[in-house]
Amino acid sequence: MRRLGEYILFLKKMFSNREPLTTYVRLFFQECINIGINSLFLVGFVSLFVGAVIALQMAYNIVSPLLPKYIIGLATREMMILEMAPTLSAIVFAGKVGSQIAGGIGTMRITEQIDALEVMGINSASYLVLPKILAGMTMLPLLAILSAALGIWGGYLATIFGNLSPTEDYIYGIQNTFVPFEVPFAIIKAFVFGFIVTSISAFKGYNVKGGALEVGKASTDAVTASCIAILAADFILADTLLS
């Protein structure tokens, strides 16, 4: 509970007398590129396979001849868009980018680079963290969209190579009873997760005390705390937005 209070104060510090906005523009783009390079491959790879596995398992589960084959496509679409794309991307993102943020900021803390910024009169919290949070909130939704597309494509490939159903059935399935709101819902989720991962990781790194060992610990803590927060937020968002 005390940590939560400190976290909120940390967020507040970030927005009080920050540098002029122009300072952040370049930093923001740097962070976006950095995040993209860091997580693009892994998110894509994981999504492709998860989509394929969902299709395979659906096919395996359909034993009754009464169930139409297009269910495979429908289920892959539903699971990818609603849950897998935003949540899985966020968890991969926490593992790759979150740990890097906590480690990087933690190192700056223990080597007094943060003190050096403060002595120069810079609000180190906003200078270091704000661009990362904004970049996370921009990039994670994009990653989630990519993830959903790749997952559905992965299911399609599995259908072909695993001979699960005629491809027309799969294509029909992914279009059948599509609720358009699911897409903005997934994007909102990814947006929130992007904030959660980057801010929690930065908070963990920013408050490191000690040496290299503590930095390592902060970066694993950041991943754990981010994952817990992602799943909690996932539940709350599903509960409020889908009811």
Partner 1 sequence: MIEIKNVGKSFQGKEVLMDISATFEKGKTNMIIGASGTGKSVLLKTIVGLFSPDKGSVLYDGRDFHRSSIKEQKIIRGEIGMLFQGSALFDSLTVAENVRFPLNIHSDLSESEKDDKVNFYLKRVGLENAAHKMPSEISGGMQKRVGIARAIVMNSQYLFCDEPNSGLDPQTAWMIDQLIHEITQEYNLTTVIVSHDMNSVMEIGEYIMFMYRGLKIWEGTKDEILDAEPKELQDFLFSNKLVRTFKGI
DSSP code at position 111: T
Long-range contacts formed by 81-85: CB under 8 A, 24+ apart: 81/148, 81/182, 81/183, 81/186, 82/182, 82/185, 82/186, 83/234, 84/47, 84/50, 84/51, 84/54, 84/147, 84/148, 84/151, 85/47, 85/144, 85/145, 85/147, 85/148, 85/151, 85/186, 85/190
Closest-CA residue to 13 (of 127, 135, 117): 127
- The DSSP secondary-structure symbol of 66 reads T
CB nearer partner 1, residue 111 or residue 167? 111
Residues 56-95: x where in contact with partner 1 by CB under 8 A, - otherwise, as a string: ----------------------------------------
Residue closer to partner 1 (CB basis): 23 or 57: 23
**Of 173 and 205, which has the nearer Cβ to partner 1?**
205
13-32: which residues touch partner 1 (CB under 8 A)? 17, 19
Q: From residue 72, how far is each of 45, 158, 162, 170, 212 by CA, in Å?
A: 21, 10, 12, 6, 49
Query: Among residue numbers 97 through 136, which ones bind partner 1 (CB under 8 A)?
Result: 107-108, 111-113, 115-116, 118-122
In whole angstroms, the minimum distance from the beta carbon of 114 to partner 1 comes to 9
Could you tell me the smallest distance in angstroms from the CB atom of residue 29 to partner 1? Answer: 15
Query: C-beta of 11: minimal distance to partner 1 in Å?
Result: 19
Question: Are 173 and 214 within 8 A, CB to CB?
Answer: no
| Least distance (Å) between residue 191 CB and partner 1 | 27
Structure tokens at 56: 């395979």
Would you say 17 or 64 has its CB closer to partner 1? 17
The encoded tokens of residue 77 equal 């679409």
Nearer to partner 1, 18 or 217 (CB): 18
Residue 224 engages partner 1 in binding (rule: CB under 8 A): no
8 Å CB contact between 72 and 158: no
Determine the Cα–Cα distance for residues 3 and 27; give it in Å rounded to an integer: 28
CB of 205 to partner 1, least distance (A): 14
Minimum distance, C-beta of residue 102 to partner 1, in the bound complex (Å): 16
Q: How many residues of this chain interact with partner 1, rule: CB under 8 A?
A: 14
Whichever of 112 and 168 has its CB closer to partner 1, that residue is 112
CB of 121 to partner 1, least distance (A): 3
* Residue 13 or 237 with smaller CB distance to partner 1: 13
Binding-site ranges for partner 1 (CB under 8 A):
17, 19, 107-108, 111-113, 115-116, 118-122
